[in-house]
Structure 1
């Protein structure tokens, strides 16, 4: 028998993706696969708004709490793990529901996308060059071999990755970018938000995180190596509250910085997902949201 389409619930942070995924799982006999890169990390609960066990309402959730904060998240590892889970869930006659706002991670699972390998020695050479000459020198090199990627990338880590891929494969990094071609049948449900309402909701959510003990969570994670990670310490809220621990800012100022950064991140997420014409957008506050989404998925 043909397997059912993979379901993906996408949209900006704070739009209710986790809740809708659980509702759909209960409606369609499904299981949820996390696609929020920062929710892979054990102990990063408050600051990532990780869904709690009671909030899961008995629905199995996968790929939560799979990494220590000192480990680096890998899109290629996630692609393999998520696809294996999807195959297993469908083989058991249930529906696989991918939920999260990390756009590249979602596309890595849904779309035809290959990942070039890595070379730790080459990576170290490029990182040493970055320290010695700065990002502009590396960016200039990238413009010569891959002007498309050079026009898109400004982050030093991504520039290094693009140069590494070119030197390893002889192909520009941009040639590995995903096309809008599903790896297997899929349905994407996007949560369309009122941006002003979302702005206020995100502010309230950050203040709620602070009241729930975000600073203490960051303090504990700092004691087990948060700063030594490559991905985790860059997470929204965690980067800002590490500065509180260092005495460089106040809790109030860190909260405001987190609110601003979270709103900016939500705008980038909307830009990313809005560029995909395959997403069916539903009003996040519609009382009929769940039956509408379930009908799309059936």
Structure 2
């Protein structure tokens, strides 16, 4: 059977569906959540425990240190190798996650645009002068579509998008493959559709559980291993808010509430991104997505 991708918004049940499909179809799971790539970022990313993985091999989990800068290109190369090794073993790759650019890098033939140290240094200098809010606003002026998918507090990706725009003379999105091309390996893409009235309470409950289960202690441990706020890992939703509270910039109640609202904002971007992909076959997350998925895959 061809690879299967399970995509959709945070807290929609992707991990559970991925496990169910892997059990049914003799599959192995390839993670497509950018923050689950980091070792030690477990509670705040809702990473499945060893027991919850039910003996199913998982790939692209716990492969980066929190001090490392995320790289979609590096992920793409490593995850493609994992998928092809799973296929060679006669098993079904189940690609599970909602990190939009990572999903696209894996299922599409995305050739990454060039880089130029001088151009990047220019935009990094501008960032230092005007700050991330103003630089992201500049990106929104030049390329609204790119600004809509890049976090407004993500300096690295904002700089990269402006670098690509300057080097290519085209919108950043123009460097990405079209979403109507046949996906790599003929992957079947299943999406979990959610409604706000169903998903929002799940997001709030899950966030409160993360704090109750020790998210703050997890961040304290990661800080001892080199986690800082000005890093890819340190800007992850939940981790950024805890770091800010540890520095006295937020109260703990504010950290909790901002994690909830930040997750909801991210979900809106995920919904918009995946809904624009005509190749996704949608399942109602609140119904019985496992049964429906198996029907579609027969």
**Fold similarity call, TM over 0.5:** yes
Q: Does the residue aligned with 2:78 lie in a helix, a strand or coil?
A: helix
CA separation of 1:216 and 1:26: change in aligned 2, threshold 3 A: same
Q: TM-score, normalised by structure 1?
A: 0.89
Segments of structure 2 that go 5 or more residues without pairing to the other structure are: none
Contact 2:135 2:158 in 1 (8 A): no
Q: Deviations over 1:155-211 (max 9, x none)?
A: 454442134235555665343122121233011111122321210111111110111
Q: Deviations over 1:240-261 (max 9, x none)?
A: 1112211232222211111111
Q: TM-score, normalised by structure 2?
A: 0.89
Instruction: Figure out how many residues of one structure are paired with residues of the other and give that number.
Output: 290
Contact 2:20 2:290 in 1 (8 A): yes
Task: Work out which of the residue numbers 147, 153, 177 in structure 2 matches 1:153.
Answer: 147
Q: Deviations over 1:62-90 (max 9, x none)?
A: 00001111111111111111111111111
Query: Partners of 2:68 and 2:276 in 1: how far apart?
Result: 31
Contact 1:70 1:229 in 2 (8 A): no
CA separation of 1:44 and 1:93: change in aligned 2, threshold 3 A: same
Contact 1:70 1:230 in 2 (8 A): yes
Segments of structure 1 that go 5 or more residues without pairing to the other structure are: none
- 1:33 correspondence with 2:21: no
**Higher alpha-carbon deviation: 111-120 or 275-284:** 111-120
- 1:294 correspondence with 2:290: no
Query: Partners of 1:151 and 1:194 in 2: how far apart?
Result: 23
Q: Deviations over 1:92-126 (max 9, x none)?
A: 11000100010111111111211024344542343
- 1:58 correspondence with 2:55: yes
Q: Deviations over 1:218-277 (max 9, x none)?
A: 111112211166210111111111122112322222111111111111121111111112
Deviation at 1:216, TM superposition (A): 0.7
1:126 paired residue number: 123
Q: Does the residue aligned with 1:97 lie in a helix, a strand or coil?
A: strand
Contact 2:189 2:280 in 1 (8 A): yes
Structure number with larger C-alpha Rg? 1
Deviation at 1:281, TM superposition (A): 1.0
CA separation of 1:51 and 1:140: change in aligned 2, threshold 3 A: closer
